[in-house]
Amino acid sequence: MYNQTEIIKDTTDLGPEGELIVNMGPQHPATHGVLHLVVTLNGETIKKIEPHLGYIHRSIEKMCESLTYRQFIYVTSRMDYLSSHINNTACALLVEKGMQIEVPERAKVVRTILNELTRIASHELWIGAMAMDLGAFTPFFYAFREREMITDIMEDTCGARLTMNYIVPGGLMYDIHPEFQTKVKAFIKQFKEKVTEYEDLVTGNVIFQSRTKGVGILTASDAISYGCTGPVARGSGVNCDIRKIAPYDAYDRVEFDEIIETAGDSFARYMVRVKEMNQSIRIIEQLIDNIPEGDFVGKTKNVLKLAKGEFYQRVETARGELGVYIVSEGGTTPHRIKFRSPGFSNLSVLNHIAKGSKIGDLMATMGTLDLVIPDIDR
């Protein structure tokens, strides 16, 4: 048992084996949230990392048990707040699967475009924050310039910039903004021009490369065993893109590549995300001119009731595989709901890959796992 007094023990006391315990977080700027890591050091070498969670635990799973199938979607926007569209999509897809609701083509295509825009926005934020953690401040402003255009599109479409709540069972809450297509095209144009700037500024940067290459190496078998998904697993050469494995919405009719890097280090995970943004642009380009006319929401009953049974829906968020598992007893609220969040599994591998490296490299290792704390705590 770990007790609280150990956390605040006098760190000048090195103990018999020369161990030093450093508390990283919960207010550390590089954890981007309230993550608390208790790092046991031997000199500068990491011996053990223990995450302490729960600083932002809201018990979303318990809350959802008392919310109806229309209401619980709004709570999920607050889990992984950078992928809120994708979280909403997962819940909407699950309810549609459970009730066999027919979703109009227009809604499917718009959902796919919005999901990909969300993925780009999330990766943009990650690149900026990651470079800032490693000491480069400029990429943050570059990344936010493009991200701003996406959040503006989101604001036009759904009125919110972060927690959207736009995707509902059956389709979309409202129709898209009249200028949606024009704005998205303007964004694609600007993104394509500017993406080379990141490449010049970050990817080719000698300091960035030497700080990330060969750091935090994760092998493919470990990635599978620890349940890693998303760019973390794909950086180690594991095929795990749910958009390819079990296509949902309009992903079965677009062409894109699943990005795989085999090095397994921090730089590989960085490269996966950069290349993924280009693939997202490719998906949006194929769909933006072909949004079908018609209804934006299918016919649904006022009160949604799932049949008795169990339902599971997987989607690919910017961080990996999000699974929603619902046990229904046939009522208007779920009997049990479980969110399999990608960040939770990705965090569990941190001790394994950072052990034995220097504490200075911990930023590069942890940064590339792309942890969002509300997603881990739920």
Backbone angles phi, psi at 92, to 5 degrees: -65, -45
For the bound state, the minimum distance from the C-beta of residue 312 to another protein, rounded and expressed in Å, comes to 7
Amino acid at 358: K
- Cα-based distances in Å from 323 to 26, 93, 242: 27, 11, 10
The neighbouring-strand residues paired with 364 are: none
Sequence-distant (≥ 6) Cβ neighbours of residue 353 within 8 angstroms: 216, 217, 218, 222, 365
The answer to whether 156 contacts another protein (rule: CB under 8 A) is no
The answer to whether 225 contacts another protein (rule: CB under 8 A) is yes
Per-residue exposure over 219-234, b if at least 16 CB sit within 10 Å of its own CB, e if not: ebebbeebbbbbbbbb
The answer to whether 57 contacts another protein (rule: CB under 8 A) is yes
Q: Which stretch binds another protein (CB under 8 A): 2-10, 75-83, 108-116, 192-200?
A: 2-10
The answer to whether 1 contacts another protein (rule: CB under 8 A) is yes
Q: Which tokens belong to 194?
A: 């500017």
- Cα-based distances in Å from 131 to 61, 128, 337: 34, 5, 36
The answer to whether 338 contacts another protein (rule: CB under 8 A) is yes
The secondary structure element, H or E, covering residue 321 is strand 321-328
Q: Which is nearer to another protein, 14 or 245 (CB)?
A: 245
Q: Which tokens belong to 260?
A: 């795989």
Number of residues that bind another protein (CB under 8 A): 43
SS (HEC) of 200-249? HHHHCCHHHHHHHCCCCCCCHHHHHHCCCCHHHHHCCCCCCCHHHHCCCC
Q: Which stretch binds another protein (CB under 8 A): 74-82, 192-200, 207-215, 307-315?
A: 307-315
Question: Which segments within 164-213 are labelled E, that is strand?
Answer: 167-168, 171-172
Backbone angles phi, psi at 166, to 5 degrees: -105, -25
Question: In this structure, how many other beta carbons lie within 10 angstroms of the beta carbon of residue 24?
Answer: 19
Binding another protein by CB under 8 A: which of 22, 45, 62, 186?
62
The answer to whether 262 contacts another protein (rule: CB under 8 A) is no
Binding another protein by CB under 8 A: which of 47, 185, 213, 336?
336
CA nearest neighbour of 84 among 145, 185, 159, 178 = 159
Binding another protein by CB under 8 A: which of 70, 161, 177, 335?
335
Binding another protein by CB under 8 A: which of 127, 134, 150, 238?
238
The answer to whether 369 contacts another protein (rule: CB under 8 A) is no
Q: Which stretch binds another protein (CB under 8 A): 106-114, 180-188, 270-278, 318-326?
A: 318-326
Q: Which stretch binds another protein (CB under 8 A): 110-118, 276-284, 308-316, 363-371?
A: 308-316
Binding another protein by CB under 8 A: which of 40, 197, 325, 359?
325
Binding another protein by CB under 8 A: which of 20, 30, 38, 53?
53
Chain positions contacting another protein, by CB under 8 A: 1-4, 53-54, 57, 59, 61-63, 65-66, 97, 222, 224-227, 229, 238-240, 245, 309-312, 314, 321, 323, 325, 327, 335-336, 338, 340, 344-345, 347-348, 352, 377
